[in-house]
Amino acid sequence: MQKLLIAIPCFNEEENIESIYQRIISDINFKELGLEHEILFIDDGSKDHTVDVFKKLSDAHDDVSYISLSRNYGKETAMVVAFDYFHHDALIIMDADLQHPPVLVNDMVKLWRLGYDDVYAKRNKREGEGWFKIKTSQWFYKLLGKISKTPVTPDAGDFRLLDKKVVVALRSLRESQRYTKGLYNVVGFKKVAIEFDAAPRLHGKSKWSFRSLVNLALEGITSYTTAPLRISTFLGFIVSAFAFIYMIYVFIKTLITGPTQSGFPTIVILVLFLGGCILISNGILGEYLARVFMESKNRPLYFIEEKHTHDQKKDN
Ligand code: UDP
Ligand code: MG
């Protein structure tokens, strides 16, 4: 029988875990689909009783495993834990807050059986999310789509079914500055979208602050494309071209009307403008260099504090 792994990254989700487990069991027709399943909860360094709830669930049910990380690494890294643990036929990743309806998995599995390797859920509307968050994320995807060769699909999150092939491919990408939404497109494979209405979070608050979203956006751009480097080169060319034309203009003007003393404002403007361009280019270079530095350390992506599975094969 084919085996499905459902992986759920959790960061301070003690109130949601029982509900998501119940919903998975009640909403997904494992029997009808002819699927064995394992549910892997990944604790991303929670400060609350998340791990205790894992323990309770896993003691009571044979299909629940958990891995607890040594600290909070962020969802992007928590997902790598799922890729590494994976030894099944397909992987589903979903959020713990029930924003991703488990019932959709039934249709995802059907599409997978039709031969698709990456069935991704696409949000129709976002309930419980502010206008600002929706707009900024739209702008971000537009920008990213314009500047990168393998565009990121807007409104498609990490709620997906991935075939073994895709997971093995993703597992081989060990970069520490991760932007997984981009990586799905980097590895390729046959993709298909399935639409759903995202529900509001069940309990608790979103773990993403505005700052962490800005960071993720920067991560998205700098780890996914080198377009900004080119933009700064273009900017340099354009500014130099203007400076050159201006130089010729001043030269000819001086020939015709003779030397003049004026022009201080022009100099100040030019110096400030060029200074700004140089600083921006330096900053962009620095962003990339910092990433080279981080990757060159080649550290393991995460450390496991505790692991409990019912799968003897993988217990170690
Ligand atoms: N999450 C995580 N580590 C973090 C932040 C979040 O594992 O550092 C998990 C979180 O528990 C949830 C999922 O990632 O299951 C999505 O988080 P959240 O609902 O806060 O994000 P949003 O839905 O607002 O994008
Ligand atoms: Mg959420």
ipTM of the predicted structure? 0.93
Residues 184 and 284 in one domain: no
Residue 139 DSSP one-character state: H
Residues 63 and 176 in one domain: yes
In the chain, the number of structural domains is 2
What pLDDT score does 311 carry?
67
Residues 133 and 181 in one domain: yes
Measure 272 CA to ligand 2 centroid, in angstroms: 44
Q: Cα dist. 13→2, 9, 53, 281 in Å?
A: 29, 9, 9, 41
Token readout for 148 is: 């990168």
Closest Cα to atom 24, ligand 1: which residue? Answer: 206
Token readout for 176 is: 């520490």
Residues 21 and 71 in one domain: yes
Q: Cα dist. 113→25, 27, 87, 162, 278 in Å?
A: 21, 19, 18, 12, 53
Query: Alpha-carbon distance 202 to 268, whole Å?
Result: 56
Question: Can you give the CATH number for the domain in which 183 is found?
Answer: 3.90.550.10
* Rg, the chain, Cα only: 25
pTM score, whole prediction: 0.72
Residue type, 43: D
Give the range of the structural domain holding residue 241, as residue numbers without chain letter. 227-297
Q: Residue 105 domain-assigned?
A: yes
Q: What is the pLDDT along the chain (316 residues), one digit of tens a residue?
A: 889 999 999 999 888 899 999 999 999 988 888 889 999 999 998 998 999 999 899 888 889 999 999 999 989 899 999 999 999 999 999 999 888 889 899 999 999 999 999 998 887 766 566 777 778 777 877 777 777 766 677 777 788 999 999 999 999 988 887 788 888 888 888 888 888 777 777 777 776 677 777 877 777 777 777 777 777 777 878 887 887 788 888 888 888 887 776 777 778 778 877 887 787 788 788 888 888 888 888 888 899 888 888 765 554 4
Residue 76: CB within 6 Å of ligand 1? no
Residues 256 and 307 in one domain: no
Measure 202 CA to ligand 2 centroid, in angstroms: 9
Residues 198 and 237 in one domain: no
Q: Residue 216 domain-assigned?
A: no
Token readout for 294 is: 């981080």
Q: Residue 277 domain-assigned?
A: yes
What pLDDT score does 170 carry?
92
Token readout for 208 is: 């993403």
Token readout for 184 is: 């799905």
Residues 282 and 308 in one domain: no
Residues 75 and 130 in one domain: yes
Residue 155: CB within 6 Å of ligand 1? no
Q: Considering every ligand atom, which ligand is closest to the CA of 71?
A: 1
300: Cβ contacts below 8 Å, ≥ 6 apart: none
